[in-house]
C-alpha cells in the first residue's frame, strides 16, 4: 500500500498530512478545532482529508483522536476536551471521504510512529511512550504490536496511582502520575514553591510580572535554564515522579525502550536528567540486569499524524 | 505433541507432574528443595523428571522457577529464596534428562495455566494473574502470548510503587505493592493493629497465645472468619491495596480478565470483597466502560506444574 | 487603671480603639497600612493614638502586630507582610505618644481578648485560639497567663507539621497545618477539585465565571452554603485538618477551651462541623476523659484591639 | 520542708527513695510490680514507703505513676500497662502511710526533676522533656510550673500526629510520634530494613542469630556503634522524626530548653545527632531567632523518684 492520510485531532487543532511508507510527511495542513460541536469537528476533518486527497493518490485514512476509542477502532467513546460521546467517527469519515478509515487514540498513534520511524525504530519488540504535555498520554507496543486493550483503552500510563489520597485527577482518581508529572504539575509545583520561597524564585517571578499565580509553563522552562532555584526544583520534582513511573513500567512490562515526548520534553535534560536519576535509583537492586533505555522522542508534533497514517495500513 | 512434564520449584518443595494437552495432571510427585545448594537442587529436579518419565512417554520438560529467568528461557539469573545466580538450568536438565527443556518464571507458568485451562480459559486475548502468597507474584498474557519482557523479567506485578517512601521491600525499592498486599503484609497489619487495639483483637490474640508477635497468616484468616475486628481489618487493608493495583493494571493494559491466586486467596471473599470494592471505586469515572472482571484462580497449587508443562510445547 | 488604647496593625489596615476595663471599645478609628515603609507605618500608628488620646484620658497603649515580637515586648523582629526587621516599635511609639507602650503579637492579643472577654471568658486557666484567615495565627493561655515563649514566638499554632514532605509553607517548612487549614488552603483545595470534577462544581464555577483559577474564598463559602459538592468538600478537608490540629493541641496542653476565630469562621458549621467530627475521631480512645470544648470566637475583628489594650494594663 | 519520699511506679518495678531539698537521693529501694493486681500494687508501694520512712524523718510522699492522673493529683484514671482504672491511689497511700501524698504522671515527675536539678536546672521559665523509652513520655514546664492540663493529661508529647493515616498507636490514633520515635519504632525500622536489605545488616543480623524477627533494641544500639548500615539507618529515622517533634514544640511553646531522656538516650549521638540535624533543618527559616537548645537528660532512672518527691513539697 502506498500513501495514506493521517489526521491528528487535539483540543485546539486538526492537523493532517499525506504520509508515505517510510513515515515521511509529503504535505500537511491544519485547521482550528471547533471543540464544542461534534458535527463541525467531523466537517473540519473531512475538509482536511479532501484537501489532502486532492493532491495525492491515497489509499486509506487514519485518525488519531484525543479520547477513548473502542476496540473496533470505530467509535470515540469519550473525549475529555472534545464534545464526543460515543461518536461513530469512522463511519462518518469513511462515508464522506470514500476512503477506508480507522480511528486510533492519539497517544497510541504517536507511540506507533516513534516505534516504527522515531526514537525506537531500532526496537523490534516493545516500547512504551510517555507524552508529557499539559497532561500525560502515551502508548504501549508489545510483540511488535500496538496494545489497545480489551476495551480499547490500554496505555493510559498517566493514570496509575502514585500518591495515596493525592492530588485529585480529571480521570476521577486521586494521586495519578499525571498530577505529578505533566506541564500542569510543573506549573503547580513552581507556583507553590514560589509563594513559599519568593527569594529563591527571583528570575521566575520576574518572568511572571512578580505574580506567582501568573507563572506559566514556558516561563518555568526559561527560568530553569537560567538557573532559577525554584524552577529547577519544579523540574526535579516532575522528573523524579516520571522516573518512578518508568521503574513501575519496567517491573510490569520490561520493554526494550522507553520514549519521552510531548511539549515538556523541549526542556531536555532539565526533565530527563532527574527522571533518569530517579529511574536508576528505583531500580537499584535490579541494576544487575539490563533495563530499558530512556530516550527523547524524535517525531515532534507530527508523531500523531504519521502514526495514524501508518496504522491505517495495518 | 502429547504428554509433557512440568516441574515447579519453590523455596521449600519441588513439585512435578505429567500433563496432557488438556491441562490434566496424570501423575505427580514431590521432593523437598535443598534450597542452599544449586547442585543438589538440580539433582532433585532430575530425579523428579526421571521418575515421571519412567512411567509415561513424554516429549519435553517445562521448569517453573521462582526467580528471574533470562529471555532465552535457559538461565535463572537470580532467585531470592534459592542459591541460584546465573544458573544454566536448562542445559543441565536437558543434558541429564535427554529431553528438550524450557525454563520459565513460576508466576508466568501459573499465569499461563490459568489462561489456558483455568479461571481465564474463556479469554482469548489477555489476562493478568496476581499470586498473593507470602509475597506477590504474577504473570501477564497479551495477544494470547505470555509476556516475558525484553530481559525476561516482565510481570513483576508486586513491585510497582504504591506508597512513596513506604515500607522497604526486598527488591530494593520502597513502598511496593507486595509490602501492602501479601501474606506478609496481612500479618504485619494484623500485628500492628493488635498491639494498638488489643481489645478489638480478642479472637486473634487468643489464637496467638496472647502474644501479638506470634500472629501468623492462617490465624488471621481464621480469626477474620469468626469476625475478629482486627483480623477483618487486616484483610480490608490488603484487599484495598490489591484493588488499587488492579485499577493501575487496567489503566495500563486493559486486560480481559484479572485472576487472583496464591495461598491468601483461600480466604475467599475476605480478600476479594474489599479488593473488588476498592477496584470499583478507583475506576469510578471509567465506570461507563466495561473493565476486566476479577476472578479467583482455579488451578490451585498445580498451576505452576501445568503451565510449565504446557509452555514446554510452544 | 482605667482606659487604654489598643492598636491592631495588619498587612492592610491600622485599627485603633479606646478600651475600658470591661473590654468594651468606646471609640475606634482606622487607617490604611503603608506596608512597605516602616517609618510611615509608625507615623500612622502615632496618628491613630493621638486621635484617640485627644478625646479620652488614657493611661497606656498596647500594639498588636502581625509579626514576631521579642520577649521584652519591645521589638518587632520580623513581619512577613510588613517591612519591619528588628523594628524598635515600643520606643518609637512611647516617645512620640508620651504613653507607656507594649508591643504584642496580634494573635496573642486576640487570644487574650477571647480569654478575658470573649468565647472563653468563663475559663480561668487555659485556652488556645486558632485564627483561620488567609493563613493561621493564634495564641495560647496557660495558668491564666499569655504564653509568649522564651524568645517571644510561642503560639505559632499554624506551623506544626501535618504532612511529611507536604505543601511548601512560607515559614520555610513543608506540610504545615496552615497549608491544609486556612483561607488559602480552602481555595487551593476547591480549585484542584473543581478542575478534576467540574461537573460537581457547577455552582462554584458559576460564581467564578467558569474559570477554576478565578475561584476566591468568599465564592467557596457561598457555593458551599448552596450545597455545591466541591465547595462543601473543600470545607470538609480544611475542617478535617483543623480537627487533627485540635487533637494534637489537646495531647500537648490539654487546655480548658479551644476557640476558632478569623475570617473563615464566618462559614460557621461548614467549617466547625467537620472540624469537631475529626477532633472527636482523633481523640476516640481518650473519649473517656473530658476534653476541651471547641467554640467559635466572639470578639470579631476587634479582638486584636481589645486584647492589646488590655495587655497594656498588665 | 525537709525530706520527702518519691516513688516511681512503672510496668515492671516500683522504685522509691528518700530525697532531700537539693534533689539528692539519700537511700533507695525497689520491688517488682504485680502489674495485674491494683490491690497488690498499692500494697507494694506502701511497703516501699514504710521501709523508707522507718529510717528517715519524712514529711510527704510523691508518687509518679505511668498513667493518666486527674487534675487533683489523687486518682489514676487509666494506666496502659497497669490494672488501674479510676484508682483512688492518693487516698489509699495517705491512709496507710499517714503521710500527705500526691500522685503525678511519671513523665511529669521526671520533667520536673530535670528542670529543678538536672539538664535544665539553669532554665528558670520553661522546658520540655521527651522520654524516649519503649514508647514516648514527657512533660512540660511553663512559667516555672509543671503543666498538668485542664484534665490532668497535658504533656503527652508522643501522641501528636506525624504521619496521616500512619502506623496505628496504642492511644487510638494513627501515625503518632511514638510510632516513629521510640524504642519500639527503632526496632520496627531495623527489622523491616534488615528483611529488605540483609546484606547491609550483617552485624545486626549476627547479633540476632540471623533472624530479623529476633532483633531487639540493645542489639540495634550495639550494631549501630559498630557501623552496621541498617542499624545506623534506624537511628537516623528515629532521630529524624524526633527532630520534627522538637520543631513542632518550638513553634507551639518556644521553651528555653528541650531535654531528651529515656533508655534510648543511652545511644547518645547516634540518636541526638540526626535529631539535631532534622530540628535545625525544620527550623531553617526561623534560624534568625534563638531557639531551644537540645540536651541529654542528666537524672537517669532516678528522675521519676526525685521529681515526685520534690513535687510532694509544692
Query: Taking the domains of chain B in order of start, what are their residue ranges?
Result: 3-113+302-311, 123-298
Separation CA D49–CA D309 (nearest Å): 12
Interface contact A197-C169, CB threshold 8 A: no
Q: Is the pLDDT of residue C1 over 80?
A: no
Q: Which residues contact B11 (CB under 8 A, 6 or more apart)?
A: B33, B35, B66, B81, B82
- Alpha-carbon gap: B171 to the closest alpha carbon of chain A (Å): 6
**Residue A212: its pLDDT value, please?**
95
**So what's the pLDDT on residue D80?**
73
Give A132 to chain C, closest Cα distance, Å.
18
Cβ pair C212, C196 in contact under 8 A: no
Q: Are strands A76-78 and A85-87 parallel, antiparallel or unpaired?
A: antiparallel
pLDDT in tens, B170-188: 888 999 999 999 999 999 9
Do D168 and B213 make contact, defined as CB atoms within 8 angstroms? no
Look at residue D33 in the predicted model and tell me its pLDDT: 85
Q: d(Cα B47, Cα B60) in Å, to the nearest integer?
A: 15
Q: Cell numbers 532554665 label which residue?
A: D123
Q: Does D165 touch chain C (CB under 8 A)?
A: no
Q: What average pLDDT does the structure give for chain B? A: 93
**For residue A78, what pLDDT is reported?**
81
How far apart, in whole angstroms, are the C-alpha atoms of residue D219 and residue D190? 10
pLDDT digits (tens, 9 = 90+) for A84-139: 888 899 999 999 999 999 999 999 999 999 999 999 999 999 999 999 999 999 99
pLDDT of the residue at A284 = 61
DSSP state of C256: S
**What pLDDT score does C314 carry?**
79
Q: Is B268 on the interface with D (CB under 8 A)?
A: no
Sign of the alpha-carbon dihedral angle for D180, D186, D187, D193 = positive
In this complex, the chains that touch A, judged by 3 or more CB pairs closer than 8 A, are B, C
Instruction: Identify the chains in contact with B, defined as 3+ C-beta pairs within 8 A.
Output: A, D
From CA D200, how far away is CA D186, in angstroms rounded? 16
Is D164–C159 a contact, with Cβ atoms under 8 angstroms apart?
no
Is B178 an interface residue toward D (CB < 8 Å)?
Answer: no
Q: Tell me if chain D has a CB within 8 Å of the CB of C210.
A: no
User: What's the angle, vertex CA B50, arms to CA B49 and CA B54, rounded to 5?
Assistant: 120
User: Does the distance separating the beta carbons of D151 and C147 come in below 8 Å?
Assistant: no
Within an 8 Å CB–CB cutoff, is residue C215 touching chain A? no
Q: Residue B219's pLDDT is what? A: 96
Please tell me the predicted confidence (pLDDT) of residue C43.
92
Cβ-nearest to A195 among C170, C192, C193: C170
Closest approach of D177 to chain C, Cα-based (Å): 11
The pLDDT tens digits of the residues spanning C70-93 come to 888 999 888 777 778 888 999 999
- Report the distance separating Cα B251 and Cα B233, nearest Å: 27
Q: Which of C105, C182, C103, C86 is nearest to C147 (CA)?
A: C105
Please state which CATH class domain A122-297 belongs to.
alpha beta
- For residue C226, give every residue at least 6 positions away whose Cβ sits within 8 Å of its Cβ, in sequence order, or none: C203
Give the nearest partner residue to D169 out of B169, B196, B213, using CB atoms: B196
Residue pLDDT, tens place only, B135-164: 999 999 999 999 999 988 899 999 999 999
User: What is residue D285's predicted lDDT score, i.e. its pLDDT?
Assistant: 62
Q: How far is A118 from chain B (nearest CA, A)?
A: 19
Whole-number pLDDT of residue C10: 83
B306 or B87: whose pLDDT is higher? B306
pLDDT at B287: 60
pLDDT at position C12: 83
Q: How far apart are CA B141 and CA B139, in angstroms?
A: 7
Cell for A63? 485518525
* C-beta atoms of A150 and B77 within 8 A: no
Fold that domain C124-297 belongs to in CATH:
Nucleotidyltransferase; domain 5 (3.30.420)
Instruction: Give yes or no for D170 touching B (CB within 8 A).
Output: yes
Q: How far is B77 from chain A (nearest CA, A)?
A: 9
B61 band by pLDDT with thresholds 50, 70 and 90: very high
Instruction: Answer whether C159's CB lies under 8 Å from C149's CB.
Output: no
Which residues in chain D are closer than 8 Å to C151, comparing Cβ atoms? 254, 289-291
Domains C3-113+302-311 and C124-297 share a fold: yes
What's the CA gap between D36 and D59, in Å, rounded? 30
- Residue D287, pLDDT score: 60
* pLDDT score at A237: 97
Q: Per-residue pLDDT averaged across B116-120, rounded?
A: 97
**B143 CB near a chain A CB, below 8 Å?**
yes
Q: How far apart are CA C94 and CA C100, in angstroms?
A: 6
Could you tell me which CATH class the domain A3-113+302-311 is placed in? alpha beta
Whether residue D167 lies within 8 A of chain B, CB to CB, comes out as: yes
Query: Tens digit of pLDDT for each residue in A63-82?
Result: 999 888 988 899 988 887 77
Nearest chain C CA: its distance from D78 CA (Å) = 10
Reported as a single tens digit per residue, the pLDDT across A192-229 is 999 999 999 999 999 999 999 999 999 999 999 999 99
Which residues, other chains included, contact D202 with Cβ-Cβ below 8 Å and sequence gap of 6+?
Answer: D228
Among A135, A161, A192, pick the best mutation site for testing chain C contact (most C Cβ within 10 A): A192
Query: What is the structure's pLDDT at C71?
Result: 83
Q: Which CATH number fits domain D123-298: 3.40.50.300, 1.10.10.10, 3.40.50.10140, 3.30.420.40?
A: 3.30.420.40
Encode pLDDT of C199-224 as tens digits.
999 999 999 999 999 999 999 999 99
D85 touches B at CB < 8 Å? no
Model confidence at C287, pLDDT cuts 50, 70, 90, reads low
pLDDT reported for residue D51: 96
Q: Which three cell numbers stand for residue B227?
A: 469476625
What is the pLDDT, as a whole number, of residue C285? 62
pLDDT band for B283, please (50, 70, 90 cuts): confident
Mutation for B interface: A71, A78, A251, most B CBs within 10 A: A251
C19: exposed, middle or buried (Cβ count in 10 Å: 0-12, 13-18, 19+): buried
Chain B residues with CB under 8 Å of A125 CB are: 150
How far is the CA of A138 from the CAs of A12, A291, B194, D110, D162, in angstroms? 19, 19, 44, 61, 37
As for the ipTM of the complex, it is 0.94
Residues of A in contact with C195 (CB under 8 A): 168, 170
pLDDT at position B78, please?
A: 81
Q: Which residues of D touch C173 (CB under 8 A)?
A: 247, 282, 284-285
pLDDT at B109: 97
Closest approach of chain A CAs to the CA of B209, in angstroms?
A: 35
Instruction: Nearest by CB to D167, from B170, B192, B213: name it.
Output: B192
Residue C35 vs residues C40, C83, C170, D220: alpha-carbon distances, Å: 8, 6, 18, 55
**C192 CA: distance to closest CA in chain A (Å):** 7
**Residue C292 pLDDT greater than 70, yes or no:** yes
List of E strands, chain D: 3-9, 13-19, 25-32, 58-65, 68-69, 76-78, 85-87, 101-105, 127-132, 136-142, 145-146, 257-261, 293-296
pLDDT in tens, chain D (314 residues): 589 999 999 878 999 999 999 999 999 999 998 877 888 888 999 999 999 999 999 999 999 998 889 888 999 888 777 778 888 999 999 999 999 999 999 999 999 999 999 999 999 999 999 999 989 999 999 999 999 999 888 999 999 999 999 999 988 899 999 999 999 999 999 999 999 999 999 999 999 999 999 999 999 999 999 999 999 999 999 999 999 999 999 999 999 999 999 999 999 999 999 999 999 998 866 666 788 999 999 999 999 999 999 999 97
Give helix D106-116 / helix D303-311 axis angle, nearest 10°. 90
Distance, CA of A169 to CA of A166 (rounded, Å): 9
Find chain B residues with C-beta within 8 A of A150's C-beta: 125-126, 254-256, 290, 292
Task: Say yes or no to pLDDT of B1 above 60.
Answer: no
Amino acid at each position: 500500500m502506498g500513501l495514506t492520510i493521517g489526521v491528528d485531532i487535539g483540543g485546539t487543532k486538526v492537523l493532517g498530512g499525506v504520509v508515505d511508507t517510510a513515515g515521511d510527511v509529503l504535505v500537511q495542513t491544519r485547521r482550528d478545532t471547533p471543540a464544542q460541536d461534534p458535527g463541525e469537528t467531523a466537517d473540519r476533518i473531512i475538509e482536511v482529508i479532501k484537501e489532502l486527497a486532492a493532491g495525492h493518490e491515497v489509499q486509506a485514512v487514519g485518525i488519531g483522536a484525543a479520547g477513548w476509542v473502542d476496540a473496533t477502532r470505530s467509535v470515540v467513546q469519550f473525549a475529555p476536551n472534545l464534545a464526543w460521546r460515543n461518536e461513530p467517527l469512522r463511519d462518518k469519515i469513511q462515508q464522506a471521504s470514500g476512503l477506508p478509515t480507522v480511528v486510533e487514540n492519539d497517544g497510541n498513534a504517536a507511540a506507533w510512529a516513534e516505534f516504527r520511524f522515531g526514537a525506537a525504530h531500532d526496537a523490534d519488540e516493545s516500547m512504551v511512550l510517555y507524552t508529557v504535555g499539559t497532561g500525560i498520554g502515551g502508548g504501549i507496543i508489545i510483540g511488535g504490536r500496538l496494545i489497545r486493550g480489551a476495551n480499547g483503552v490500554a496505555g493510559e500510563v498517566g493514570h496509575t496511582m502514585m500518591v495515596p489520597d493525592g492530588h485529585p485527577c480529571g480521570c476521577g482518581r486521586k494521586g495519578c502520575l499525571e498530577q505529578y508529572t505533566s506541564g500542569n504539575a510543573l506549573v503547580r509545583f513552581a507556583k507553590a514553591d514560589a509563594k513559599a520561597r519568593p527569594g529563591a524564585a527571583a528570575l521566575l517571578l520576574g518572568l511572571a510580572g512578580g505574580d506567582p499565580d501568573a507563572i506559566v509553563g514556558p516561563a518555568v522552562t526559561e527560568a530553569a535554564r537560567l538557573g532559577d532555584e525554584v524552577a529547577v526544583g519544579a523540574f526535579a520534582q516532575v522528573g523524579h515522579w516520571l522516573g518512578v513511573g518508568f521503574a513501575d513500567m519496567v517491573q510490569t512490562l520490561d520493554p526494550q525502550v522507553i520514549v519521552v515526548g510531548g511539549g515538556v520534553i523541549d526542556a531536555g535534560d532539565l526533565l530527563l536528567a532527574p527522571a533518569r536519576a530517579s529511574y536508576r535509583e528505583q531500580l537499584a537492586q535490579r541494576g544487575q540486569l539490563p533495563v530499558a533505555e530512556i530516550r527523547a522522542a524524535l517525531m515532534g508534533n507530527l508523531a500523531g499524524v504519521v502514526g495514524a497514517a501508518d496504522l491505517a495500513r495495518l
